[in-house]
């Protein structure tokens, strides 16, 4: 089988196309989606790339807990980006999830409001993975071009109000196209 040659066509004015002659391990998957453009992935003989839902680099992603809770707590908070505003994306509902850090199973989730506020209810003591994700057309996806929150903790309080910050990175990261963990 010949290697895939992704082609990226951005819709900017007259438009422009970029092709990549070197198809690395991420190339067929990197250009299936983009924020500001139409993307396609073609094999070297011009056919669309086959779907690959079990992308190897997704399976290899290592995730660590980023939320430590000392005792059961009523958990709420606000999700903000680096500029101090709620990350609202068109046609995407942003939600906060708490996942088991070992299995990545979703344990709790809650939508954010227009100001970025969320309420998750009572969360037992433990170490968890707290994620901000988007729901678009019924599918859970990573928020585009964002890094997940860093270490957060609720110590000995019975009510914990977190200030959760996400940061934007300047370019596509292959992990951006993987399912959230």
Predicted confidence (pLDDT) per residue in 111-120, tens digit: 999 999 999 9
Fold of the 67-177 domain: Immunoglobulin-like (2.60.40)
Could you give the residue range(s) of every CATH 2.60.40 domain in the chain? 67-177
Mean pLDDT of the chain: 75
Give the tens place of pLDDT for each residue, 54-81. 566 677 778 889 999 999 999 999 999 8
pTM for the model stands at: 0.66
DSSP bridge pairs for 164: 79
Quick one: tokens of 180?
């959230």
Task: Please check whether residue 100 is in contact with residue 107, taking contact to mean a CB–CB distance below 8 angstroms.
Answer: yes
State the pLDDT confidence band at 50, using cuts at 50, 70 and 90: low
């Amino acid at each position: 089988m010949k290697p895939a040659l992704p082609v990226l066509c951005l819709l900017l004015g007259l438009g422009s196309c970029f092709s990549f002659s070197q198809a690395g391990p991420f190339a067929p998957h990197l250009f299936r989606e983009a924020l500001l453009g139409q993307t396609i992935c073609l094999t070297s003989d011009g056919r669309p790339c086959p779907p690959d839902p079990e992308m190897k680099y997704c399976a290899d992603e290592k995730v660590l807990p980023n939320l430590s809770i000392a005792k059961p707590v009523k958990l709420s908070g606000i999700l903000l980006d680096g500029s101090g505003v709620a990350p609202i994306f068109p046609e995407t509902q942003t939600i906060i999830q708490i996942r088991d850090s070992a299995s990545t199973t979703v344990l709790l989730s809650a939508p954010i409001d227009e100001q970025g506020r969320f309420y998750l209810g009572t969360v037992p003591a433990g170490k968890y993975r707290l994620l901000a994700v988007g729901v678009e057309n019924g599918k859970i996806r990573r928020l585009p071009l964002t890094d997940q929150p860093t270490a957060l903790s609720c110590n000995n309080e019975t009510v914990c109000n977190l200030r959760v910050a996400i940061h934007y990175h300047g370019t596509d990261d292959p992990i951006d196209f993987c399912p959230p963990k």
